Amino acid sequence: MKLYLAGPEVFLPDAVAIGKLKCDLCAKHGFVGLYPLDNKIDAPHDQLSKAIFEANVDMIERADAIVANLTPYRGISADVGTAYEVGHAFAAKKKVFGYSNVRTTFVERVRRYAGPLKQGDDGRLYGTDGLAAEDFDRFDNLMLAEALRASGLDVVTPDTEPADIARDMTAFERLLIAIAAVR
């Protein structure tokens, strides 16, 4: 079973080493990890963006499932590139699995970002920025949360928030074990 390893760790300076570690953990649990930076891309800078997109899409299509790191990235939600990939994989009939190294619900993070929240006339909770916050007890926007649930496993989080949310592998490995149990 080939797992496409989506997530914002590609933006870390040690992204290659982290990909190696994730692929080693996949092998330990009987999976083959496909990591975006394993694509060897040789393109001039002005064509690099397109080449990376095409290589990532090809890798998703070759995978059986996606394992997405949905830890909030530079804000209240998952990385949008990862969110794109979850949607792409779901529509391509792949299983979509995900984990987050942050344990808060989406509405809690909106409260910190734009709180206090006040109930509007329509019954929804609104932030001080005038925008409603989804209040469904989910870890992020419902499109991500429900795509995971429809694949059979809810988001996995660690029992306590790790010191290094960008690199900790506790939730990732726990998710691999859960996937192995339902495969």
Query: Which residues are at the interface with a second copy (CB under 8 A)?
Result: 8, 11-13, 15, 45, 48-50, 52-54, 56, 73-81, 83-92, 110, 113-114, 120-122, 126, 129-134, 136, 138, 140-147, 149-150, 166
Q: How far is the CB of 93 from a second copy (least distance, A)?
A: 9
CB of 91 to a second copy, least distance (A): 4
CB of 9 to a second copy, least distance (A): 9
- DSSP symbol at 156: B
- Let me know: does 40 contact 8? Beta carbons within 8 Å: no
Nearer to a second copy, 47 or 180 (CB): 47
22 vs 138, beta carbon nearer a second copy: 138
Which residue, 27 or 142, is less far from a second copy as judged by CB?
Answer: 142
Query: What does the alpha-carbon distance between residue 35 and residue 54 come to, in Å, rounded to a whole number?
Result: 14
Judged by beta carbon, residue 86 or residue 175, the one nearer a second copy is 86
**Kind of pairing, strands 32-34 and 132-133?**
unpaired
Q: How far is the CB of 183 from a second copy (least distance, A)?
A: 22
Kindly tell me which of 91 and 177 has the beta carbon lying closer to a second copy. 91
Report d(CA 13, CA 86) in Å as an integer: 24
d(CA 180, CA 174): 10
Closest approach, Cβ 80 to a second copy, in A, equals 4
Q: For residues 45 and 64, give the distance between their C-alpha atoms in angstroms, rounded to a whole number.
A: 31
Quick one: 93 or 159, whose CB is closer to a second copy? 93
Six-digit token string for 27: 């092998």
Q: How far apart are CA 182 and CA 79, in angstroms?
A: 27
Determine contact, residues 172/7, Cβ cutoff 8 Å: no
Q: Nearest Cα to 116, choosing from 104, 129, 103, 105?
A: 129
CB of 68 to a second copy, least distance (A): 11
